[in-house]
Amino acid sequence: MSHRTELIVVSGASTGMGAATAHELAKRGYHVLAGVRRQIDAEAIREDGVEPVILDITAPEQIEALTERIAADPERRQLRALVNNAGIAVNAPVETLPLDQWRRQFDVNLFGHIAVTQALLPFLHDSRGRVVNISSLGGKVAMPTYGAYAGAKYALEAVSDALRRELGPHGVQVVVVEPGGVRTEMIGHGIERAKAFVKEMTPVNQRRYGSLMQAIINQATAFTKSGVTSQAAATVIADATTVPKPRTRYTIGRDAAMLTRLARILPDTALDRVSAANLRPHYPNA
């Protein structure tokens, strides 16, 4: 079935889940406005049904340009859905991560999504469309060194709940997707940032947190290798975006499904022990 009379915006579509989701939605017949940050990425993702748009979700002028593109659509297509997928990951202990890095993480992983959502909601009201927020397992379980990342994702979960309850009476749906381990470029970039950050730590903090950081890097590497593919994740996201009666939340991967359930039923101290046990084999001296 063709949905070429309907637009879907996907942010963070340069690589990984975002790119795979844009292609999957185009395959299902939608016209996708795929948000990318660089022209080279635009040329790489362009295909029939996938129209790249330059979109840094922290740049107001680029968000405004996106709204103008939708409003002036040459075929008068309606906006069916917004998939808020853009994100970055910076791992470091709360004590050591500079405040500018905290702000950057929240700017991209939370405030940027709110800005895009606010800008596009008038179109979604008209179409009785849908907002799909890509959260994370980290939006339910905050592992060591994931304070900033998980903090932004926890906040995105809360904003999504509020938005769902605000928009539901007006016919606009809000869905959250919580991926666990997915083999994406973002995880690899996060690992490289973590390695660089360890080198910048003071000698005191290296003694205090060096082994923890190495364990987190080792765990993330293993976690990613055993994770689902970007295409498998894209299938779930595309379903959440297009099925007539979506659930309020979807998980991606068995790890996300299991740990989000455990987070609901285990007391904090038990969850702390589970976290420590999962991390223990990844310490350098394990």
- Adjacent-strand bridge partners of 52: 34
Q: How far apart are CA 244 and CA 242, in angstroms?
A: 6
Tokens encoding 67: 């709204």
Pairing between strand 130-134 and 50-54? unpaired
> 161: which residues sit within 8 A by CB, 6+ positions away?
none
Alpha carbon separation from 38 to 12, 15, 44, 204, 217 (Å, rounded): 11, 11, 10, 39, 28
Tell me which residue of 231, 185, 211, 180 sits closest to 283, measured CA to CA: 211
Tokens encoding 76: 């008068």
Which residue numbers are catalytic? Answer: 149
Q: How far apart are CA 241 and CA 154, in angstroms?
A: 21
Tokens encoding 277: 């046990």
Tell me which residue of 148, 135, 238, 221 sits closest to 183, measured CA to CA: 221
Alpha helices in the chain (DSSP H): 16-27, 39-45, 60-71, 99-106, 112-127, 147-167, 185-200, 203-225, 230-242, 254-265, 268-279
Alpha carbon separation from 39 to 42, 54, 84, 269 (Å, rounded): 5, 7, 20, 48
